[in-house]
């Protein structure tokens, strides 16, 4: 059972590694935490924008992505 579980996880991981299409995501937060998340994730996922509950930030751009 444990070997099967590892195999399934390995297949999923391998598929992600060889897949050329990155997953689209939105980052919640356009402050320092959002900037940090963007910089850490930008190579592995397609960041399509940011969400924020600060109305002053909504409609602006961060890293050329809409908030």
pLDDT band, residue 38 (cuts 50/70/90): very high
Domain spans, the chain: 21-67
Q: Is the pLDDT of residue 32 over 50?
A: yes
Q: Is the pLDDT of residue 13 over 90?
A: no
Spatial separation of the C-alpha atoms in residues 41 and 60, rounded to whole Å: 20
Q: What pLDDT digit, counting tens, does each position of 41-57 carry? A: 999 999 999 999 999 99
pTM score of the predicted model: 0.68
Which residue carries 């997953």 as its tokens?
A: 23
Residues of the chain with pLDDT > 90, as a percent, come to: 64
Q: Is the pLDDT of residue 15 over 80?
A: no
Burial per residue of 22-42, b for 16 or more beta-carbon CB atoms within 10 angstroms, e otherwise: eeeeebebbeeebeebbeeee
């Amino acid at each position: 059972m444990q070997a099967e579980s590892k195999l399934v996880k390995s297949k999923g991981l391998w598929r992600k590694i060889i897949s050329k299409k990155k997953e689209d995501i939105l980052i919640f937060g356009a402050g320092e935490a959002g900037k940090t998340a963007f910089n850490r994730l930008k190579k592995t996922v397609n960041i399509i924008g940011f969400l924020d509950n600060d109305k002053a930030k909504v409609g602006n751009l961060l890293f050329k992505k809409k908030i």
